[in-house]
Each structure stands twice: as structure tokens, then as C-alpha cells.
Amino acid sequence: MRVAAILIDTGRELLFRKTIIVYFGVVTLLLLSFALALHTDVADGLIASISVAGLRASSPGMNGLTAEDFVRYVQLGTVFMLYPLAILMSVFATASLVPRMIEKGTIDLLLSKPITRPALLAARYLGGLLTVTANLLYLTGGLGAILGLKTGVWNGGIVLSGLLMSLYFACLFAFVVLAGVLLRSTTVSVMITAALFFASLMVRLPHAYRDWPLLITGHLWRFLAVTVVETLYHALPRTYDFVQASTALIRHEGGLDWGAVGGSALSGAAALLLAVVYFSRQDY
Amino acid sequence: MSGDTSTDASGPAVICQRLAKTYRAALSRGGVTALRGLDLAVPSGQTFGLLGPNGAGKTTLVKLLLGIAFATSGTASVLGRPAGDVRSRERIGYLPESHRYPPHLTGEQVLHHFGRLSGLRRPGRTRRVDQLLRRVNLGEWRSVRVHKYSKRMLQRLGMAQAILNEPDLLILDEPTDGVDPIGRREIRDLLLEQKARGATIFLNSHLLSEVERICDRVAILKEGALLREGGVADLTRPRSAWQVETRAGRPDAVAGAVARVPGARAVDGRVEIEGDVPAVNSLIDALRGQEVEITAVLPRRDSLEDVFVKVLGEGETP
């Protein structure tokens, strides 16, 4: 019941702060415009014509595009364009949860109640995660349903990719929580998390192309550069790998890169554990 | 919530033994010492006032008792369990000095939120919330978000929150700070109700007149050390001084009488004398000899404020 109290309060706070409402509104607007603007004619599994906000394209210009491929392309476009935006909006929406909780006057009251510190922080984390997951599922489920109704093709990969991105957010959010506990500042937490987000994208490239250290002549500098890149790659949630895994789910291609998913989950779990340990030992 | 039977009801509600706290400072080696080896016991069922100037360590002590901060050395127990223990917190009510309630909640939702956190279940919680909202005169404001509440309303809501679980120990940190006289009286009445119920009250305040009215015992802290502890009645006992109230008669009559009695002095239309009963009798005789009408003879007591100023001024060491 005590954890439920924190979950309920976290949901109410996010609604009150309006950031999550704006997020929900943007997704709704996107889905509505998609539902109203897109018209397709499907014949024998092929797209005969597409009309987007009155701009019409029809066969033979469609080059035998199957409805299945069309749905897949739209969903892949969503992954590349909307997921980064959705994740960053989620970080903005939830970054204040921990700094606000540990403000003087608020934390005193919470810690005087019969709930342990780890349970308090974990419930706060879970509250933020559940709210964001609901929004991601609303986006992906809504998109999947609209495309299914318009084309008759039901590709559940988009919903699975939404769940996967929720897992990615869970990893990133653990760093948001850690920064919030350590620094007690919403703004600095957002800045650090955004920096980690982009750093995780940037280190993917040198990690993938293993010959790059040869460009550095000095042995020490080469060693340091490789150490920094590999440490960051393994310590941070692997943004690029998650996006790639999401596209694989939509294309129904091969298995997931469980190494990347598991590594990110581990780094998220470590960040959350650090946050809990620090929070449990801190004077307020 | 008196369901726990593991604590001896007649034993002290709070025990501190050589309790010390030093806050580490980022750029300093030593840090700031807030409490220095405090020994203290708060008897169950009593109202205990913790006094001291700003920075004396009062709030730090409260935080250590609740587990909001951790002691550097020494031990503290609350309701028979180590300070900060989750199970003992089920039986504690707390009103912090600068409490901040979630601004997105209404008064009623705040009480339900903290009721859930205290482990209160429906429908008992609903009944208790309704009862308390009426008791603190917030019934009409129950559905209004708390960011629209005045300071006095927030303090009343805070008191309702603190007594929601019918605590065995009620800890209040400056509950009347910044509250107007009517608000102070409302809080005092609520505290007296809790006292009558048998709760132990731990009151941290620098409003000495309030403490003197409510508390059975007090302790005075200065720079983290205990300077004095005792019953309010003992600390403010009569100090062999008397005050004789007179009705104005001839202007020189009182002055004439005072001049004849050693140790007597006229102050603001009344006469004061240091000494025992024979001394005050000789003053009365002298006044009556001048045909001065006497309306009252009162033994002088030190107020708690007198004691407080004296103890701090003397810089007594424990």
C-alpha cells in the first residue's frame, strides 16, 4: 500500500506538471493527423494508391509496393524520427521527479513515514517508468492500429519495439534518477542525461570500427582513447543498438542483440543501485 | 496506532545516549558539529519541550530520532526501537518546521496520501480523514489544492497529517512558527487533546510562552550540548521574591514605606521585595502604616524565558 501511495502520487504529479499531458497531446495530435490525412487503396496485397493530406500517388508509380512493405516503412520511419524525440521528451517529463522529492520539507515528511528509503526511491522510479511506458505504448499501439485499419496489415513489431524502447528508457531513467539523487537539480539532471544520450550514440561508431585507434600514434594516448570509448560504450545504455533492435523487430529480421540489451539493462541496474545506496545513506 | 506491544508503555519514549552528529562539509576537514554527546530521556505520556537558540541542534536531534539523518556516534531509541526504525515510525506523527505538501493534491488527497504511507486502510482512513478535516476547520477546503492554502491553513493541515495515525509519539518542529495568535491557540488546543489521549509530545520550539503553557519537561540546548533539563514547574519555581500590588493613594505613601524596608523597591505602581515571608510581612506592615491599600500579594516565579536567558547567558556547561 505504501509503494502504491508513491506510485499514485507520482502519476498525479506528472499530470499536474503538464509535461506528460503535453507529451500525450503531441502523440494524440500525431495519431489523429495520421488517421485523418492518410488514405490507402490496397488491391491484392499491393498499394494501388496513397493519399496524404490530398497529395495522391498511385500505380504504376507505386512500383508494386506491397501493403506489408508500406506498413513496415512507415513504422521504421517512426522508429528513426519519433523514438529519439519521445525518449528525450520522456526524460524532460520525468527528470524533476527525484529532485522534487528530496526538496527540504518534502523529504522530511516522506522519511518520517514507515517506508524504507529503497522502497521510496524505487516506487518513484517505477511511477515515472510506468507513465512513460503507457505513453510509448499509446504511440506505438495507436500507430499500429491506424495502419492496420488503413491497410489491413497488422504488424505487431511496432508494439514490441515500443516495449523495447520502454526498456531503453528504463536504463536511461536510472541515470536520470542517479543524477537527481546526487545533484538534487532537475536542470542539471536533464543536461547530464542528454549528454549521456548523445555520448552513447557517439561512442558506438569508434566501438564498431575497431581500426580507428591506429589513427592515434602515441601508445599512451591510443590506450587512453580506447579505454574511454570502451568504458563509455559498456557503461551507458546503448542507444544505437536499441534503435537497431527496434527496426529488427519491425522487419521481423533475426533475433535481438541480447548482448546490447542485457548490457544496457545491467548498466541501468547499476546506476539505479548506486542511486539507492547513496539515497539510503544520505542525511536530509 | 498502539498495536505494538513490544514497548514498555511506562519506559521513556525517547532515549539518547552520547548522541553526536557532525555534518561533513565539502571543503572542510572537520565539518560542522550539531550535537555533542547528548544524553536525554523523554518519559512516555509527557509533553517535552526542546529549547535552544538557532543552531543549537534541535532540528538535528529530531532528524536523528526519525532517521532523516544519521548519528555520527552514540545511540538513540524511539518507542523501544532504534531511531529511524520503520516499525517505530508507524507509531510516530511528525510535523517538520518547513513542511511542503504536494501542490498537486487537495487537502483531502494530502491526508489520504500520508494515511496510505502510514499504513491506514479504507474505510477507517476515510472516516479519520473526514473527522480530522472537520476538526481543523478545513471541511470546506477539502477539495481545494493545497497550493492555494494560507500559512495558517497549511499549519492546520500539517497538524491533521501529524495526528492522522493517532501516534504514540508526536514530534513537532516549530509548529507555531510564523502562525498568528489564533492559529497558535488552535494548535495548542490540538496538542492538549493529544496529551489528554496519552500521547507523548516532543515539541521543538523557541516560542517559550507556548512551551511553558503546554510542556511538563524541557531541555535547553546550546551549540549541540545539553545545558539544563527538568520539569517546567521545577525550573520556574518561586525564587523567594514577592510582588505586592497596591491601589494608588497619597503619592508619597508608597515611597515612604519602601524607604523603610530594606530590599524593597517600587516598580511600575507595584512593590517588589527579595526575601522570605518575614520580609514581605514587614513590607505589608510598612505599607499599611502609610495607609496604602494592598490588592494582592504574589510570590514571584521565574518565567521559562527568565530561565532560558539566564542559562544561556551564564554559558553553563553540562
Q: Which residues have CB under 8 Å from B211's CB, separation 6+? A: B49, B51, B203, B205, B218, B232, B304
Q: Output the CA torsion sign for A89, A90, A91, A97.
A: positive
| Average pLDDT for A135-140 | 92
Residues B38 and B60: their CA atoms lie apart, in Å, by 12
For B162-193, b/e burial (b = at least 16 CB within 10 A) is: bbbbbbbbbbbbbbbeebeeebbebbeebbee
Chain A residues with beta carbon closer than 8 angstroms to that of B98: 104-105
The residue type found at A84 is: P
Lowest-confidence segment of A66-70, A116-120, B86-90, B129-133 by average pLDDT: A66-70
Report whether pLDDT(B124) > 60: yes
- CA–CA separation, B34 and B24 (whole Å): 11
pLDDT at A182: 95
Establish if A55 touches chain B: CB-CB under 8 angstroms. no
For B240-262, what is the mean pLDDT? 84
Rounded to the nearest angstrom, the minimum Cα separation between B175 and chain A is: 13
Whether B174 and B297 map to the same domain: the answer is no
Which is more confident, B185 or B125? B125
What CATH number is attached to the domain comprising B58?
A: 3.40.50.300
- How far, in Å, are A20, A88, A107, A126, A278 from residue A10 at the CA level? 12, 19, 14, 9, 21
Residues B76 and B202 in one domain: yes
Q: What is the pLDDT, as a whole number, of residue B45? A: 94
Residue B157 located in a structural domain: no
Give pLDDT, residue B4: 43
pLDDT digits (tens, 9 = 90+) for A248-265: 888 887 667 788 888 899
Confidence class for position A124, pLDDT limits 50, 70, 90: very high
**Interfacial A residues in 108-127 facing B (CB < 8 Å):** 108-116
Of residues A172, A151, A129, the one with CA closest to residue A66: A151
Distance CA A123, CA A168 (A): 18
Whether B47 maps to a domain, the answer reads yes
| Beta-carbon separation of B98 and A16 below 8 A | no
The verdict on residue B190 lying in a domain is: yes
B99-118: per-residue pLDDT in tens? 899 999 999 999 999 999 99
Confidence grade of residue B1 (pLDDT, cut at 50, 70, 90): very low
Q: Name the band, by pLDDT with cuts 50, 70 and 90, for residue B46.
A: very high
Query: Which residues of chain B neighbour A4 with C-beta distances below 8 Å?
Result: 116
A6 to chain B, any CB pair closer than 8 A? The answer is yes
Is residue B16 domain-shared with residue B78, that is, in the same domain? yes
Alpha-carbon distance B239 to B259, whole Å? 23
Asked whether residue B280 is assigned to any structural domain, the reply reads yes
pLDDT bucket at B315, cuts 50 / 70 / 90: low
- Residue finishing a domain among B213, B234, B255: B234
- CB contact under 8 Å between B68 and A108, yes or no, is yes
Is residue A94 within 8 A of residue A15, CB to CB? The reply is no
Kindly indicate the confidence band of residue B126, based on its pLDDT and cuts at 50, 70 and 90.
very high
pLDDT tops 60 at residue B155: yes
Residue B28 confidence class, pLDDT cut points 50, 70, 90? low
Q: Which of B66, B68, B70, B155 to mutate to test the interface with A (most CBs of A within 10 A)?
A: B68
* Residue B120 · residue B164 · CB < 8 Å: yes
Give the CATH number of the domain where residue B274 resides. 3.30.70.100
Residue B135, pLDDT above cutoff 70: yes
Given a cut of 60, whether residue B3 has pLDDT beyond it is no
Q: In the prediction, which pLDDT does A59 show? A: 64
Indicate if B220 and B242 belong to the same structural domain.
no
Helix, strand, coil shares, percent, chain A, to 5: 75, 5, 20
B98 Cα to chain A: minimum distance (Å): 5
Distance CA B165, CA B79 (A): 15
Are B186 and B201 found together in one domain?
yes
Residues 79-138 of B with CB under 8 A from A: 86-87, 89-90, 92, 94, 96, 98-105, 109, 113-114, 116-119, 121
Are the Cβ atoms of B96 and A114 closer than 8 angstroms?
Answer: no
- pLDDT at residue A61, rounded to an integer: 62
State how far the Cα of A21 lies from the Cα of A11, in Å rounded to an integer.
Answer: 11
Between CA B201 and CA B217 the distance in angstroms is: 10
**A with B: how many residue pairs have Cβ under 8 Å apart?**
83
One domain, residues B188 and B256: no
User: Which residue of chain A has the CA closest to B98?
Assistant: A105
Q: Does a structural domain hold residue B85?
A: yes
The three three-digit cell numbers of residue B271, written as one number: 512593590
How many angstroms away from the CA of B73 is the closest CA of chain A? 14
Do B85 and B175 share a structural domain? yes
The residue range of the domain holding B257 is 238-301
In chain A the first and final C-alpha atoms are separated, in Å, by 24
Instruction: Assign B318 a pLDDT band (cuts: 50, 70, 90).
Output: very low
Chain A residues in contact with B113 by the CB 8 A cut-off are 5, 8-9
Q: For residue B312, give the amino acid letter.
A: L
Give the residue carrying C-alpha cell 492496420.
A148
Angle between helices B107-117 and A2-17 (to 10 degrees): 150
Number of independent structural domains in chain B: 2
Give the mean pLDDT of chain A.
88
Residue B49 lies in a domain: yes
Tell me the C-alpha distance between B228 and B220, whole Å: 5
Across residues A224-229, what is the average pLDDT? 87
Chain-centre distance for alpha carbon A12: 21
- ∠ CA(A79), CA(A81), CA(A83), 5° rounding? 50
| A283 contacts in chain B (CB < 8 Å) | 23, 63, 68-70
pLDDT of A223 reads 85
Cell of B157: 493541515
The shortest C-alpha distance from A231 to chain B (Å) reads 28
B108, A113 Cβ separation under 8 angstroms: no
Please report the sign of the dihedral spanned by the C-alpha atoms of residue A148, residue A154, residue A156, residue A157.
Answer: negative
Domain endpoint, select from B234, B251, B286? B234
Burial class (CB in 10 A: 0-12, 13-18, 19+), B125: buried
Instruction: Say if residue B171 is in the same domain as residue B290.
Output: no
Do B32 and B58 share a domain, yes or no?
yes
Shared domain check, B228 and B296: no
Query: What region does A263 belong to: left with phi over 0, alpha with psi -120 to 50, or beta?
Result: alpha
The answer to whether residues B172 and B81 belong to one domain is: yes
Question: Which of A61-65, A77-81, A199-203 comes out lowest in average pLDDT?
Answer: A61-65
Contact B102 A106 (CB under 8 A): yes
Residue B145 lies in a domain: no
Tell me if the bond preceding B53 is cis, omega within 30° of 0.
no
- What CA–CA distances, in Å, run from A163 to A88, A138, A169, A258, A261? 16, 11, 10, 15, 12
Indicate if B79 and B179 belong to the same structural domain: yes
For β-strands B217-222 and B47-51, DSSP reports them as parallel
Backbone angles phi, psi at B86, to 5 degrees: -60, -40
ipTM over 0.85: no
Distance (Å, rounded) from C-alpha B209 to C-alpha B69? 29
Q: Which residues of B touch A104 (CB under 8 A)?
A: 98, 100
Lowest mean pLDDT among A21-30, A52-61, A79-88, A89-98: A52-61
Instruction: Report the chain B residue with the minimal C-alpha distance to residue A283.
Output: B69
- Output B154 or A50, whichever has higher pLDDT: B154
| Rounded Cα gap, residues B171 and A222, in angstroms | 60
Give mean pLDDT, residues B78-92: 94
Of the ranges A37-51, A163-177, B87-101, which one carries the lowest mean pLDDT score?
A37-51
> Would the pLDDT of B2 be above 80?
no
Evaluate whether residue B294 is within a structural domain: yes
For B226, counting Cβ atoms within 10 Å of its Cβ (0-12 exposed, 13-18 middle, 19+ buried), the class is buried
pLDDT band at B129 (very low <50, low <70, confident <90, very high): very high
- Is A152's pLDDT higher than 80? yes
Mean pLDDT of B42-66: 94
Chain B residue with minimum CA distance to A105: B99
pLDDT score for A219: 83
Q: Count how many residues are written for chain A.
A: 284
Q: By CA distance, what is A1's nearest residue in B?
A: B116
The answer to whether the Cβ–Cβ distance between A112 and B69 falls below 8 Å is no
The distance of B219 to chain A (nearest Cα, Å) reads 23
A165 to chain B, closest Cα gap in Å: 29
| Shortest CA gap B113–chain A (Å) | 6
What is the predicted pLDDT for the residue at B254? 87
